[in-house]
Amino acid sequence: MTDRADDHADHQATYDFVIDAVVSTAYRGTLFTFVVHSGPNEDWPWPQGATPGSPFEAHPTNGATYPIGVSWPPPVRVPLTQDQSARKHQALAAHSSQWAIDGSYLESFVKSEEIFWKER
């Protein structure tokens, strides 16, 4: 699920809904979170110029280090094969209306890994 530190209101609401469901069902498993939005200008997961297939890295922008509100490095880093990264790119690009608006931002999520934080 998205992390509580995610800046997007819909993502924060998703976090709250999942936590409510976890509490109401007494779920005892591990919860993993990820960050989509961190920063006022979509400063995560940039930095500008990062190439697809590179690992996720924290980075300073305008005096802050992104992603904000989560520990770095993330405790769970899952390597992706080149084929898996290519499929992720294809899946993101398939959303043509969003790709036309924010393609370079969406492409910045195509990395050599997936990263997660443990909520509990």
Residue 1 lies in a domain: no
Domain count, the chain: 1
Residues 45-92 have pLDDT tens digits of 876 556 778 899 998 888 889 999 999 999 999 999 999 999 999 999
Q: Is the distance from CB of 84 to CB of 77 less than 8 angstroms?
A: no
pTM: 0.87
Residue 95 lies in a domain: yes
pLDDT at 14 over 70: yes
Q: Which phi and psi angles does 51 have, rounded to 5°?
A: -95, 145
Residue 101 lies in a domain: yes
- Rounded CA-CA distance 93/47 in Å is 20
Residues 105-117 have pLDDT tens digits of 888 899 999 999 9
Q: Can you give the residue range of the structural domain that contains 18?
A: 9-118
DSSP string of 28-89? -S--EEB-S--STT--SS--TTPPTTSPP--EEETTEEES-SS-SS-SEEEE--HHHHHHHH
pLDDT at 42 over 80: no
Percent of the chain predicted with pLDDT > 70: 97
Residue 43 lies in a domain: yes
Count of C-beta atoms within a 10 Å radius of residue 62: 9
pLDDT at 33 over 70: yes
Question: What tokens were used for 32?
Answer: 């993993």
Residue 2 lies in a domain: no
3-state secondary structure of 109: coil
Question: What tokens were used for 30?
Answer: 């591990």
pLDDT (mean) for 29-38: 94
Residue 53 lies in a domain: yes
How many angstroms separate the Cα of 20 from the Cα of each of 6, 14, 23, 42, 73? 17, 10, 5, 28, 27
Residue 50 lies in a domain: yes
Residue 3 lies in a domain: no
